[in-house]
Amino acid sequence: MRVFVMGDIHGAFKALKQCMERSHFNYRKDRLIQLGDVTDRQGEVYDCVEDLLKIDNLITLRGNHDDWMDTFCQTGHHPSDWDYGGKATVASYLERAGNTHSNVPGKCAFTDLLKPTDIPERHQAFYANMQLYYTDKQGRCFVHGGFDRFLPFAGQFPPTYYWDRELWASALEWQTYERSNPGQCPFEIKTKFKEIYLGHSPTTHWNTTLPMQAANVYNLDTGAGGHGKLTIMEVATKKFWQSDPVEQLYEVGRQVTVF
């Protein structure tokens, strides 16, 4: 079985399909570890979930956007009030529910129109069953955001795993120091991992749409939620494939991230 890891999708179904085709991913034989944030930003969230559900060996991790969606499915309340790209998610499910008013502006109108019952049960189960993290027998760790590296890995406050950005920031800071002072100070972490894979912090913030590595931490969020690309990587070889720039696949300039 080949094992692949994929960064934040953010509703970019066209990008998802390109990554699967270009990597020759086998839906029956290969394993995909998806790092979270399937929802929001681009308008094909429903299609993304449908495609992921076709994978026999799928591990999905909880992203902060996915957690908001799960809360909505369970309670009818969306903690972020559909800000931060949520309009696209709402429109995607309204369209699939046959609602002809999916372009009605304003978060209150959307909240009134979309109900948890509009979300298929298999999708609700998809969001509910997302894992906080995944570790394998080879000593690799997969997590959406990060964790407190000075505490034991297991048992941390659950939202830490999908909200933390300090792990990636500290790895970048260590890398800068290491370049000037090679071998003088190892990257300190309480629970040792061979490799750590995460998303959540788009590499476009560092002016690249390529995956980044600092210490033993790999960042696979290459900006599919904005103007970047979606990335899938084969874990054993580190070979990766990417979609076209999302702005070429969608009218990114027309996204409404706060409404």
Average pLDDT over residues 127-148: 98
What is the model's pLDDT at position 174?
A: 95
pLDDT tens across 152-185, in order?
A: 999 999 999 999 999 999 999 999 998 888 878 8
* Per-residue pLDDT tens over the stretch 219-230: 999 999 999 999
The neighbour count for residue 137, using CB atoms within 10 Å, is 5
Q: Which CATH superfamily is domain 3-254 in?
A: Metallo-dependent phosphatases (3.60.21.10)
What is the band of 255 on the pLDDT scale with cuts at 50, 70, 90?
very low
Q: Which tokens go with 5?
A: 């890891």
Mean pLDDT of 136-152: 98
Supply the DSSP string of 117-151, one letter for each residue. Answer: GGS-HHHHHHHHT-BSEEE-TTSEEEESS---TTS
Task: Indicate whether 254 pLDDT > 80.
Answer: no
Is 90 exceeded by the pLDDT of residue 36? Answer: yes
Q: Is 181 helix (H, G, I), strand (E, B) or coil?
A: coil
| Domain ranges within the chain, ordered by starting residue | 3-254
For the full predicted model, state whether its pTM sits above 0.75.
Answer: yes
Do β-strands 231-234 and 212-214 pair in parallel, antiparallel, or remain unpaired? unpaired
Cβ atoms 46, 96 nearer than 8 A: yes
Rounded CA separation 101/255 (Å):
18
pLDDT in tens, 69-121: 999 999 999 998 888 999 899 999 998 877 655 454 555 556 667 899 999 99
Unique residue bearing structure tokens 């129109």: 113
Residues 37-60 have pLDDT tens digits of 999 999 999 999 999 999 999 999
Q: State the pLDDT at residue 178.
A: 86
- Return the structure tokens found at 152: 């034991």
Checking if the pLDDT of 231 tops 50, the result is: yes
Q: Which contacts qualify for 151-157: CB closer than 8 Å, 24 or more apart? A: 151/190, 152/190, 152/191, 153/190, 153/191, 153/193, 154/191
Measured at the CA of 65, the angle between CA 64 and CA 68, to 5 degrees, comes to 90
